[in-house]
């Protein structure tokens, strides 16, 4: 496990000294390596331990912010009770036991049913693609099919969903997601910052949807892109394994800062 590079190390040292720290983390591709079957994803042991260590520190809040539906996120991430959860890219949130579950309006529910029907028809036309139903959306998964089939199915779904007024369509890695609740990870981070009163935020993500999160970071925050691809994040690490070193170092620095 190699140490973070010099610039990132300096940013972590500065971040660790903030009054109230929010550590907001994407799950898949950040805490967990990407896997063929989404239900098989699990956090790397070192990263899970670092998150637990951070969550146990005073004035330090941990949060997972994922495209997964909340139920799915809980199943794979097994978060400790202190960790706040944002699922479905911001459409679902869990910030404590008194939180109301997501309620769709009648129009949203109707629109969601039509979006599901549209994606069902796409899956029927492109065998091997898969549909995932979420509380506020529906996802076309193309990870298991050849690149030409994936491209054709994605184009087909984009066209069908484009006919539905009020459906927000988002691209991800081997997924096309339709949501009837208009939100994104940037809004999720804004909400968490406000809720927690954080004076600085660390946000890490690996996918195109995480760019909305990097875009709302402020001076003093630290954004880390995990893996390859264009990004607005100020820092980058190569892999979830490399990110374990970052989280471990942040937990060490933060423990020292709050003890001092």
Cα–Cα separations (whole angstroms), residue 227 to 217, 239, 260: 19, 5, 34
Shortest distance, CB of residue 139 to Mg ion, whole angstroms?
13
The secondary structure element, H or E, covering residue 202 is strand 200-205
Residues near Mg ion (CB under 5 A), total: 5
Minimum CB distance to Mg ion smaller for 27 or for 94:
27
Region binding Mg ion by CB under 5 A among candidate stretches 6-14, 25-33, 180-188, 192-200: 25-33
Residue 206 touches Mg ion, criterion: CB under 5 A: yes
Q: CA-based angle 240:20:251, to the nearest 5?
A: 35
Question: φ, ψ for residue 112 (rounded to 5)?
Answer: -60, -40
Residue 211 touches Mg ion, criterion: CB under 5 A: no
The torsion region of residue 174 among left (phi > 0), alpha (psi -120 to 50) and beta comes to left
Residue 177 touches Mg ion, criterion: CB under 5 A: no
Q: Helix and strand tally (H, E) in the chain?
A: 8, 11
Give the integer Cα–Cα distance in Å for 180 and 232: 27
Residue 160 touches Mg ion, criterion: CB under 5 A: no
Residue 43 touches Mg ion, criterion: CB under 5 A: no
Task: Choose which of 156, 177, 207, 221 interacts with Mg ion (CB under 5 A).
Answer: 207
Task: Choose which of 4, 28, 65, 250 interacts with Mg ion (CB under 5 A).
Answer: 28
Instruction: Enumerate binding residues for Mg ion (CB under 5 A).
Output: 26, 28-29, 206-207
């Amino acid at each position: 496990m190699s140490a973070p590079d010099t610039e990132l190390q300096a940013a972590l040292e500065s971040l660790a000294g903030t009054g109230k720290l929010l550590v907001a983390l994407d799950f898949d591709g950040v805490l967990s390596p990407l896997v063929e079957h989404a239900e098989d994803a699990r956090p790397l042991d070192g990263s899970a331990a670092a998150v637990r260590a951070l969550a146990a520190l005073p004035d330090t809040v941990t949060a997972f912010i994922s495209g997964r539906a909340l139920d799915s996120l809980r199943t794979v991430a097994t978060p400790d009770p202190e960790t706040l959860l944002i699922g479905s890219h911001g459409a679902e949130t869990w910030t404590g036991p008194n939180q109301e579950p997501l309620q769709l309006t009648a129009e949203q529910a109707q629109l969601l049913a039509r979006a599901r029907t549209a994606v069902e028809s796409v899956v029927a036309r492109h065998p091997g693609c898969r549909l995932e139903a979420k509380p506020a959306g529906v996802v076309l998964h193309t990870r298991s099919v050849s690149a030409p089939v994936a491209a054709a199915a994605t184009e087909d779904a984009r066209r069908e969903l484009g006919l539905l007024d009020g459906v927000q369509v988002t691209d991800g890695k081997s997924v096309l997601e339709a949501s009837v609740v208009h939100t994104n990870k940037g809004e999720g981070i804004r909400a968490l910052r406000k809720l927690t009163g954080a004076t600085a935020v660390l946000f890490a993500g690996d996918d195109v949807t995480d760019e909305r999160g990097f875009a709302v970071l402020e001076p003093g925050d630290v954004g880390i892109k995990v893996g390859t691809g264009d990004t607005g994040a100020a820092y980058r690490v190569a892999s979830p394994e490399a990110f374990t070193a970052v989280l471990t170092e942040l937990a060490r620095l933060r423990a020292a800062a709050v003890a001092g």
